[in-house]
Structure 1
Amino acid sequence: MKRLRCGAVLSDVLSKLKVKWDCFNDLNINNNTKPACYWYNNLRFDALSAICRLLRHDITINALMIALNCESNVLGKLSEIGYGANVAFELHLINNQPYVKILYAKNYASERRAITRLVRGCTETDEYCPLSKFISAQKAFVPTDIQKECSI
């Protein structure tokens, strides 16, 4: 059920992080640019909004936290999500390797705090998580054939 509740959102995040790194890598290390990378090479920020009638903001954040296996550690026992709460996934280059930093703000007035160490697959002491390790740890929660999985 976790795969279906948040798999599409998680899949989108993972895909964008991976493509951004692949395009950066091609441009800066291989000195090559694929046509599909022109847009990604200029991308500095990408946002997903969960405000619409069918997709509630609090449900989306809660599902994402469940999929990342950090719901109780981040949201608490009651899973309270305030107005304007948000999750940010930052891609960093450290020693020529891609790392992810995950931040959470509990409402519009709160400062973001790093939650990377609380996410499945990331160590409890690091503020950053290697991108490959992060993606591998989350793959089990990304549906590969959503139509097939929904019909079961």
Structure 2
Amino acid sequence: MKVILTYGTFDLFHVGHIRLLKRLSLLGDRLVVGISSDSFNEMKGKKSFFSYAERAEIVSSCKYVDEVFPENNWDQKIDDIKKYGVTCFSMGDDWIGKFDYLEEYCEVLYLERTEDISTTDIKKKLSLISQSELEKIESSLHDVIGIVKSLNIK
């Protein structure tokens, strides 16, 4: 059985994540995903919108993923490879060379990232929305809800 392993934060789950997980699942029989724990993100100076538990629930619900587990530190990868019987470790090509030391334990593969989408970019775009724009959106939503209710649609 060929077991594929990858890691990530998987915050604000998007099409780039889906495409990566799909490609990874096609490489083997089983896809195992390590998700950065909240404490590990804190150590890396990152803050996720969703908690580890929520991100783990989201990723584990993806049909391409067989199992998820917490990534608590940088140094657990060799133990995880052994624990899950991993035959191929894979990450996005923005990590090229960083995990070559794992070749002693399994195949290491870097996949091309989905162009023009990243959680960082999404967060930047969301941060540009002003409070007044948010209030307009909220007002519009209330208007739509009022219209739908007035139509008495069940």
TM-score category (smaller protein): under 0.3
TM-score (norm 1): 0.27
Q: Which has the larger radius of gyration?
A: 2
